[in-house]
Amino acid sequence: MNRVIIAGGGIAGLAASLAFDRAGWEVTVLERAPQLGEVGAGIQLSPNACKVLDWLGILPAIREHAFTPATADLRDGLSGETLLSVPLGPAAEARWHAPYLHIHRADLLSVLAKAVERRRIDLRLGIEAVRAVDQPDAVSVHLSDGSLLAADLAIGADGIRSALRAAINPDEAPRFTGQTAWRALIPAAALPGGTIPRTATVWAGAGRHLVTYYLRGGDLINLVAVLERAAWTEESWSAPGDVDALRKAFDGWHPAVSALLAAVDTCFLWGLFDRPEQVRWTSGHTALIGDAAHPMLPFMAQGAGMALEDVPVLVNAVGSGSDIPAALEAFERRRWPRVTRVLQRARANGRLFHHPPGMAQWLARTPIRLAGQIAPGLAAGQLDWLYGFDATQG
């Protein structure tokens, strides 16, 4: 039986463990945290991501914890004008053959962890992979306790700070993107009903934008507020946020935004980092997936989607494990063009959301307004390449 060692017990790592176990591999997952968990935050699962969750057999359990938004909207942060609205809900399932869902990250991890517990997967908490060394026909994974594991395949699903990435791309470090993000969860009951629309909403403004959507059946509102910033000086990539600074950054915005920010008690502040695109994700018997391979700005809400898509493509590529280096190269060739397209679109959305008032903003927004008013189905069609894709096929 082939053996795979997966570094990282997050969304990508646990999803990969389920897929490889089902394919008949012996699976070990290494997670440095003493228990599985996640800082309270929401995540958007678009139809392409939900197709993978369905393939893994856990979409029904995901739905039990999720919220289904009616639309995805782009609004002006100051006036509240709706610039574009894309139907979701039943329309998403009819068009893209899978739902569009919002879920708390902790709930998603809980569903994945419960599925792992029901399988033969060896999940080791409180220990991490620190290095992978390729051998002629295998890979040696060095652990933080000084021990060593051998496997046919090592997968780095350990995030943007991936330890396994160093073996493939030495002397290459994450880079600050010039964006920071406050994240907060607000009880929906803290606001008058209808204050925040029950949609996936981007509120756009000069040099900043804000995203709102509901979680846990509508009981929580997830807030992500992004601001351009020259530098990131915190030692960690996230830190307790200053609520007053958050409110000041969006002072004078639409009354719904102001009411939501007034209800924020605590928040966290993240520096948003990425890595160069022209690097390898695989080498010998080692592969990277998710943020370890291709971290991206959240402006397409596709970080989890691309990580989940990696999983079936990788499992199908390696198959029975007869020629793993060649299979990993094939995996990278297949995934690179699509992931790069998403990365580029995410960056473009950041520029679109943050246009300052004036002619440039008017020129950028006018086609969006016209599309929403004259041909509302056109906007949905522009997303067919993304949401209509099924990584489990082929």
Interhelix angle 47-55/303-318, rounded to 10 degrees, is 40
Dihedral pair phi/psi, residue 28, rounded to 5°: -125, 130
Contact indicator for 160, 292 with CB cutoff of 8 Å: yes
Three-state SS string across 216-232, please? HHHCEEEEEEEEECCCC
Q: CA-to-CA distance for 353 and 16, rounded, in angstroms?
A: 33
In the chain, alpha helices (H): 11-22, 47-55, 59-65, 90-96, 105-117, 165-168, 243-249, 255-262, 303-318, 324-353, 359-374, 376-381, 384-387
CA nearest to 241, candidates 165, 283, 185: 185
Q: CA-to-CA distance for 88 and 109, rounded, in angstroms?
A: 24
Q: CA-to-CA distance for 139 and 294, rounded, in angstroms?
A: 22
Residue 232's contacts (CB-CB under 8 Å, 6 or more residues apart) are 176, 180, 271, 273
Q: CA-to-CA distance for 51 and 63, rounded, in angstroms?
A: 13
Contact indicator for 9, 31 with CB cutoff of 8 Å: yes
Catalytic entry in 100, 213, 214, 387? 213
Amino acid (one-letter) located at 351:
R
Tracing tokens 């990508």 back to the chain, one arrives at 12
Answer yes or no: 213 catalytic: yes
Tell me which residues are annotated as active site.
Answer: 213
